Chains A and B, each alone.
Chain A
Amino acid sequence: MNRALLEVEGLHHWFGGLHVIDGVDLSCPEGVVKAVIGPNGAGKSTLFHLIGGALRPRTGSIRVGGKETAGLPSHRMARLGVARTFQSSRLFPGMSVLDNVLVGLHVRGRSGFLADALLPSSARSEERALRARALEALERLGIAELAQADAAGLPFGRQRIVEIARALAPKPRLLLLDEPACGLNNSETADLAERIRAIRAGGVTVLLVEHDMSLVMEVADQIAVLHYGRKIADGTPREIQADPDVISVYLGAADA
C-alpha cells in the first residue's frame, strides 16, 4: 500500500448545536482515487470544506503529505498542492477559459503586487511561461480550442471540464472533486470517468464526493461511507457493496 497523502484523524466539527462531523478518521493513499459517499446530510461537503481550508475544524487533525494543515486557509492549501473543484461549477464570470486556467496557475507565479505595477517586462517572461502551461493544461484535457471562449457562457458539461483543467493546471498532489457528476448526463458521466482515470494515471491523488453510484463504482479504488457525520465503512468497492451497514443505510441505492 502506498503511503498516505491525506490523513484525517479524530475530526470534529459542529455548527451551533449541530454536530456535523462526529469523529471522522480517513486516510487516502497516494495515487489512489478515493470516493466519499453517504446520504444527504451525512457531512460530505463539510468534510471537503474542512480538508480544503474553507472551514477550520473544531478539533482533530488533517495532514497532507505528513504536514499538519487543519485550520490553514484555502489559499495556503492551494500552495501545498491541494486543488479543488466546486459542486456548482464556479468559473470566474467575465473571464475567458484561458484566463480562468491562468488564475489556477496563480500559485506557480511569483511576481508581487509592486513588481506587477512597475515592471511589466519582468512579469512578462513569467507571464509567457504561465500562458504556455495554461494552454498545455487545456490540451491535456482536449479542450484547447475553447481557450478564448467566455467561460461562463459554455454549456454546463464543458464548464465542468474547464474547472478540472483549472484545478489540474498547477500540477497539484491532491485533487478534491466535489460532486463532479452533478448535472451531467450519462455520456458526459462516462467521459468524466475516463478523465478521472487519466488523472490518476498522471500521478494525482483524487478524493471525490459523489452521489452517482455508477461513477463511484467505476473509478474508485477505495470508498468511505459517511452517515450522520461518522464513517461507517471504508474499503474497496466490492467490500462496500457487501457491507451490511452500508446496505441498510442506502436501502438498495447501489444501482443509481
Chain B
Amino acid sequence: MRALPPGLRRYAALAGLCAAVVLVQVLLSALHAEQYLVQLTMAAWYSLVAVGLCLLMGHTGQVSMGHGGFLAIGGYASAVLTTLAIPAAGASGTALLLRSLGILAARQDPATGADALAVAPWAAFPCALLLAAAVAFLVGIPVLRLKGHYLAMATLAFGFIVSRLLLGLKFCGEADGISGIPAFRLFAGLAVSGKKALRVPNYYEAWAVVALACFLSVNLMGSRTGRALRAIHGDEEAAAAMGIDTARAKLSVFVLSAVLSALGGVGIAHFGGGIGPGEAAVLKSVRYVALVAAGGMGSLWGTLAVSSVLTFLSLRGVFGLYDDAVFGAILVAAMLFAPEGVPRALAGGARRAASLPRGRGRPA
C-alpha cells in the first residue's frame, strides 16, 4: 500500500471491491449457484441508497429517515413512464415524431393487447433522476435548516407523504404498484432485466454502478468539499465562519444522495420488472439508516459491506418473519454497543485480542 502514490491509495479499497465482486461471481458460477446472483444484484441496487446516506448522514451529519422515498420516486417515475399505454393507432404527430427519435417505444397494452407507445427506458431514466433531484432540492431547502430531532421528524414525514401518495394515486397502481416494467436496454446487447439468461451481466451492471458511486464518494470524501462536509458535521457554526456555505453544501449532498437512491430505484424497477409502494415505507427508510449506522456512519466500505450482506440475507428470506425485527435490533445494538460501526468495533476487538497474550501493556 505504501508503495502507491498517496493519490492512488484511496482507490485501493475500490479495487478490492471490484476484485471481490468478480471473485464472488466466478465462485457462484463454478458452484452452479447462480441463483444467488439475483439477490446480490438487488442488494447492489439497494446499496446505492446506503452509499448516498453514508455521505449525507455519516459525513455531513444530516439524518434522513425518508430516503426510501427517493428510491421510490426514481423507480416509480421510470416505471410509470415506461408502462404508459398511449394507443399507437391514431397517435398524434408529436407522438410519431418521438417514436421515430426512439424516445417513445412500442409495446403491447397489457389490458387490451393493442399496440401502444410508452417512453423508452433510456429516455425515462434522466426524467426519473431529474424528478428525484428536483424533489430533493425543493424539500431540502426548508428542511435542511432543521437539526437533530426536527430534521429526523421532517424527513420521516416526507417519507410518509411519499408512501401515502403512492398508495393513493391511481396511476401509481395504488397498493399493487406497477408491474410489467420492460427491460432497460443498454448497449452491446446488455440490459437491466430479470431474464435468467442475463443474470451474470445484470450482476455486473449493478455492481459497476455501485463502484461508480463509490468512486464519486471516495473522491468527494478526500477532497476540499469532503473536508467542508466533515466540518459541518463537527461544528456547523464554526464551519460557516471558515467561509463554508453550509446551506448550499448540505443541499448538494442531500440532492446527490437522493439521485443515488433514485438510481437504485430505477435499477430495482427494471431488474425486478415491478415496483410497489412498500419501497417508500417508513420501515424501509429506517433500514437504510440501520445499515449506515451499523456500518459506521462515515465509513463507506463498512456501510457497503454491512449493506450488501444484510440486504442479501434479508432478500433470501433468512430472517423470515423477523425481518423488520432484525433491522430494529441492529439499530438498537449498533447504537448501544458500536456507535462507530460494527466493522470498526470488530476490528478493534480483534486488535485488542491480538495484543492481550503478549503482556506488553504499558503501565497505566
Contacts and interface: CB of A to CB of B under 8 A. Distances in A.
Interface residues of B, number: 29
Interface in A104-138: 104, 106-107, 109, 111-113, 116-121, 123-124, 126-127, 130
B220 interface: yes
A117 B227 contact: no
A95 B220 contact: no
Interface stretch (B167-175, B243-251, B312-320): B243-251
Interface in A75-102: 75, 77-79, 83-84, 86, 90-95, 99, 102
B165 interface: no
Given A74-B237, A78-B241, A118-B219, A92 B231 contact: yes
A103 interface: yes
Given A75-B245, A111-B223, A117-B219, A95 B234 contact: yes
Contact of B230 (A73, A79, A94, A104): A94
A120 B230 CA distance: 18
B355 interface: no
A237 interface: no
Nearest to B226: A116
A113 B223 CA distance: 9
Nearest to A166: B242
Nearest to A124: B7
A24 interface: no
Given A75-B245, A75-B246, A127 B223 contact: yes
B264 to A, nearest CB: 18
B216 interface: yes
Nearest to A108: B243
A117 B222 CA distance: 9
B224 A117 contact: no
B62 to A, nearest CB: 15
Contacts of B220: 113, 116-117
B246 A113 contact: no
A116 B223 contact: yes
B242 A104 contact: yes
B228 interface: yes
A116 B225 contact: yes
A94 B229 CA distance: 13
A109 B244 CA distance: 11
A57 interface: no
A75, A86, A99 pick with most chain B CB within 10 angstroms: A75
Given A111-B223, A127-B223, A84 B241 contact: yes
Contact of B235 (A83, A90, A127): A90
A132 B179 CA distance: 57
Contacts of A117: 216-217, 219-220, 223, 225, 256
A221 to B, nearest CB: 25
Contacts of A180: none
B26 interface: no
B25 interface: no
A72 to B, nearest CB: 11
B230 to A, nearest CB: 6
Interface in B246-277: 246, 249, 252, 256
Contacts of B224: 102, 106, 109, 111, 116, 123, 126-127, 130
B227 A103 contact: yes
